[in-house]
Amino acid sequence: MDRGKDSQSKKLEEIQNEIERLRNLIKRHDYLYYVMDSPEISDTEYDRFFRELELLEKDYPQFLSLDSPTQRVGGAAIEKFDQMTHAIPMLSLSNIFDEGELIDFDSRVRKLLGTSEIVPYVVEPKLDGVAIELIYENGLLLSGGTRGDGSVGEDVTPNIRTIKSIPLSLRSNGPLAKVSLIDVRGEIFMGRADFDALNKERDETGEAAFANPRNAAAGSIRQLDPTVTAQRHLKFLAHGIGRIEGASVTTHMDLLYGLNDLGIPTNLNQTKLCEGVDAALNHYHALNAVRNELPFEIDGAVIKVNSLKWQIQLGTKSRSPRWAVAYKFQPMQAETKILRIEVGVGRTGTLTPVAIMAPVNVGGVNISRATLHNQDEIDRKDIREGDVVVIQRAGDVIPEVVKVKEEFRDSLSVPYYIPDHCPVCGSEAVRLQGQAAKRCANSSCPARLKETVKHFASRDAMDIEGLGDRLIDQLVDKDLVRDPADIYYLDADTLSSLDRMAKKSASNLIRAIERSKMAPAHRFLFSLGIPLIGEMAARLLTQAFGDVSSIQQKDAAQLQEISGIGPEVAQSLVTFFSEPTNVRMIERLISAGVSPSLADEYSVTTASPLFGKTVVFTGSISIPRNDAKKIVETAGGSVGSSVTKKTDFVVVGEDPGSKLDKARELRVRVISEEEFRAFIGFSN
């Protein structure tokens, strides 16, 4: 009996070790992906580890722990945020706008320190985001809050926990390894690409667009439902601290390195230690020169005295420190004239007004279009055709109209109203109560359909290579495609009758369409373009329920049982699946052979002959290399670029290169394309 107990506790110990191993593995890969931007494993492999961990934690809840990567999105929606008092107030910075003011700052610093020596400064980008404090106690993330008025902010811990670059537990590396308590301060922000994508989606769904990435980040971190925050792709970069106990450093630069060693994201790449004010000025100019190339917005440089002893000596005045200033960049604005306003129609039928302007250069980029979002926005700014306007670039590509210069307005100009009819199909355009957007009411409007099909075929969705925008336009215009399911009923003859479609490209496209039938379930779900179902929600849902058909059977309450799925997302799914045309379309997709459940990444088992194997390709095979790579990864294997002892298979196509010789030399198994196809269950 005792022995039974022994072996049971041994088994439990092994399970606990395995859970710990998976957690560390996932944390490491989160860090590589979200902080270092250099993933080492495929999404498929990552998801598999994650799934294994989830299953173990579900079966052995006694080992659950708050710092497990599975516990990022967990909390339910709340009604209001608690207050969070900052132990040390969070100050703001005084702004300066020209070189003279920087020189004055340096003179003041030297005078107060009583030194005529050169002062070393750290010059960092000033991120345009939301100031946040994260409290780590004994290595664990305890809470996180906004700056608020500097003394008291809002406790947004559940939202903070969803940000993948923020570690839930610290590493014990470097000079701060032994820190027992630390208030890490920094900026939560949204990258340009994520900002543009979010605004595009909001335009589509009739929600008001965010004016700039800062507002988007602020709106996202203050969501009462953490599910929504989790889908916003927020990022964090640290730039300072409040309290620190158990460890210390003597300079700001060492502090940044120390934070970095703890696994906290810092902006060291753009940060420079500058000996004196001239060097600081140079780095300010260098940052200004690269600001357009950075993946996030910066609105200036922050110049800080490097020595922490000197910082204390200099102290603070009312609300900002005497040891730092923000040297702002010129705003990225310009003036131009609106030639006319055009209206585009999106996937959900939303009519989006776009100002077509006389081209103008804003911060190095030529601009001739600006989205006006919706009627409310047009009314609020009273934007009219023919107006002279100030425009501003926010995000990567889509500029904004800041204001109209009414003094230049033509006396004959009239207010602009989005038309009452769809500019493409002529159907009535209606504005639903409580929504900012006007929509074309015709669900088979060709403009809507084109956008729906484009989304369906896009890279992150069904990934149908060769089915580009122009082709989709033709297919819809010729009435060959009336919904995404029709794609699977096209034949090579029909395709090759289209403009610019040679026989060869038609047959390649047919193959790409065939291949897409085995897309993983989460991509299939995402491809349906259900409002609020982004890639992440799609993954969570298919991880929990398997395929789309099972998700279709669930009611809102069942959907919400999934951690990470909030009430709005659940309702959106229920609404979509209760629409008979959607149900019919899914049925037609499935009867055409789209079988995502079988190819679901998470259902890949060790039974696949490619599971855990490394494959190298040589010579040309009829499946494009990128697709072949994806297929191997979906089956749980990986693709190598050269043949080594660790290679399991070499797939040989026509005209193989020296890799075949190498394979023979190392006695690595060589297989033909046919055998490879058989392995992956892929014929034709």
Residues in touch with ligand IVH (CB under 6 A): 91-93, 124, 126-127, 131, 147, 187, 239-240, 302, 321, 324, 326
How long is the chain?
A: 684
* Identified catalytic residue from 126, 304, 450, 517: 126
Least distance to ligand IVH, CB of residue 296, Å: 11
CB of 271 to ligand IVH, least distance (A): 8
- For residue 149, the minimal CB distance to ligand IVH (Å) is 11
What is the DSSP secondary structure assignment for residue 168, as one 8-state letter? S
Which two tokens mark 321? 């420190």
Distances (CA, A) of 139 to 173, 240, 423, 462, 602: 11, 17, 58, 42, 32
556, burial (CB in 10 Å: exposed 0-12, middle 13-18, buried 19+): middle
Q: How far is the CB of 246 from ligand IVH (least distance, A)?
A: 22
334, two tokens: 């310009």
Rounded Cα distance, 235 and 233, in Å: 7
Residue 80: how many CB atoms within 10 A of its CB? Answer: 6
CA–CA–CA angle 406, 412, 417 (5° rounding): 80
659 is catalytic: no
Query: 81: Cβ–Cβ under 8 A, 6 or more apart, which residues?
Result: 154, 155, 156, 222, 224
The encoded tokens of residue 572 equal 């959106």
Q: What angle, 0 to 180 degrees and rounded to 10, lies between the N-to-C axes of helices 192-205 and 213-221?
A: 70
Closer of 124 and 387 to ligand IVH (Cβ): 124
DSSP string for 211-260: SSHHHHHHHHHT-SSHHHHHTT-EEEEEEEEEEEES---SBHHHHHHHHH
Helix (H) or strand (E) holding 201: helix 192-205
Of residues 334, 324, 329, the one with CA closest to residue 288: 329
User: In the complex with ligand IVH, which residue's Cβ is closer, 291 or 448?
Assistant: 291
Provide, rounded to whole angstroms, the least separation between the CB of residue 78 and ligand IVH.
24
Q: Which is nearer to ligand IVH, 43 or 101 (CB)?
A: 101
Q: What is the rounded distance in angstroms from the CA atom of residue 600 to the CA atom of residue 583? A: 20
Residue pointed to by tokens 């298979």: 649
Q: Which burial class, exposed, middle or buried, applies to 528 when counting CB atoms under 10 A from its CB (0-12, 13-18, 19+)? A: buried
Q: How far is the CB of 92 from ligand IVH (least distance, A)?
A: 4
Please identify which residue in the block is written with the tokens 């516990």. Answer: 71
Nearer to ligand IVH, 93 or 345 (CB): 93
Shortest distance, position 119 Cβ to ligand IVH, whole Å: 17
Helix (H) or strand (E) holding 300: strand 298-305
Cβ contacts of residue 638 below 8 Å, gap of 6+? 41, 42, 45, 613, 614, 615, 632
Report d(CA 333, CA 362) in Å as an integer. 6
Question: Which DSSP helix (H) or strand (E) runs through 112?
Answer: helix 99-113
Q: How far apart are alpha carbons 670 and 25 in whole angstroms?
A: 32
Burial class (CB in 10 A: 0-12, 13-18, 19+), 18: middle
329 vs 682 by CB, closer to ligand IVH:
329
Beta strand 649-652 pairing with 638-639: unpaired
* Minimum CB distance to ligand IVH smaller for 106 or for 451: 106
Order the strands of the 120-127 sheet from edge to edge: 94-96, 324-328, 298-305, 120-127, 272-275
* Pairing of β 388-393 and β 365-371: unpaired
534: left (phi over 0), alpha (psi -120 to 50) or beta: beta
Would you say 639 and 629 are in contact if contact means Cβ atoms under 8 Å apart? yes
Q: How far is the CB of 222 from ligand IVH (least distance, A)?
A: 15
Pick between residue 70 and residue 311 the one whose CB is nearest to ligand IVH. Answer: 311
Strands 399-404 and 272-275: unpaired
Q: Which of 128, 486 has the CB closer to ligand IVH?
A: 128
Kindly state the DSSP code that residue 118 receives in the 8-state scheme.
P
H or E, element range at 371: strand 365-371
Residue positions annotated with a catalytic role: 126
